[in-house]
Amino acid sequence: MESALPAAGFLYWVGAGTVAYLALRISCSLFTALRVWGLSHEVGVGPGLGEWAVVTGSTDGIGKSYAEELAKHGMKIVLISRSQDKLNQVSSEIREKFKVETMTIAVDFASEDIYDKIKTSLAGLKIGVLVNNVGVSYEYPEYFLDVPDLDNTIKKLINVNVLSVCKMTRLVLPGMVERSKGAILNISSASGLVPVPLLAMYSATKAFVDFFSQCLHEEYRSKGIFVQSVRFFEALVQQTCEGGNEALHMAGMEFRIRTQNMASSGRAVNLEFFRKRGLCVWEYEDCHTKN
């Protein structure tokens, strides 16, 4: 009986420590939610930031839903994707439904020689929002050396997932800085939060997007530019596009970017959420609290 007492005491302290840890996590989440929703400054996403919104990978799923939501808020939309036929279809749908002007640019982000064409097409536009959504992954998880057509896959993932974010930002950011306002939404992934074996290259590229977003926000928040990283746990791809707009209301915080005094303290909000049984679960995390 006496020998059981030390074990009971040990289990007590393990339980107490676990409860304390969970209570701390819940308290931090509640405090973050209060800061984001109760104490934050609200910046409306709409023509006030600039007449035009640019969305890459905009003919399906996440990109299409962003384009529709931005059009709903009165912004003119530049749709950039690979297929001109799909671009024409989505462009027509948005014009008819939301009565806004649209423009299409057909390019393949797997190529590196597309950006002069994009630059020429965007010349003179007052762009208030850039959504860097285009992205690719493997057909299925695989060991690095066993990925089919590895050399081309390496080039494709870097060009589409990394180079496109940097190059599109390079094209659009100067105009935002000149007008002292703008928003850049970079679509990352939960795969970029921790290393994901068998998706090594994809995970690494999404980690880049997340860190690039945080760094860019710190560099340009004082100039009125807001940069947000959106980390999806389960992508709303073409097959699950139905209901995507409801999820994007959450992803874009109903397209009212919230940040604590964007011009001074510049609290950037990263969003993480996934779809499960029709529900979206997400948590908010401040850039300044990340290690």
* Spatial separation of the C-alpha atoms in residues 97 and 99, rounded to whole Å: 6
Q: What string of DSSP letters covers 141-152?
A: ---GGGSTTHHH
How distant, in Å, are the alpha carbons of 40, 57, 156, 219, 225 from that of 263? 12, 30, 37, 12, 8
The answer to whether 284 is a known catalytic residue is no
Token pair recorded at residue 129: 């929002």
Nearest by Cα to 235 from 196, 269, 189, 168: 189
First to last CA, the chain: 47
Burial class for 234, CB neighbours closer than 10 Å (0-12, 13-18, 19+): middle
* Spatial separation of the C-alpha atoms in residues 86 and 92, rounded to whole Å: 10
Q: Catalytic one among 66, 202, 220, 284?
A: 202
* Spatial separation of the C-alpha atoms in residues 221 and 170, rounded to whole Å: 16
Catalytic residue numbers? 202
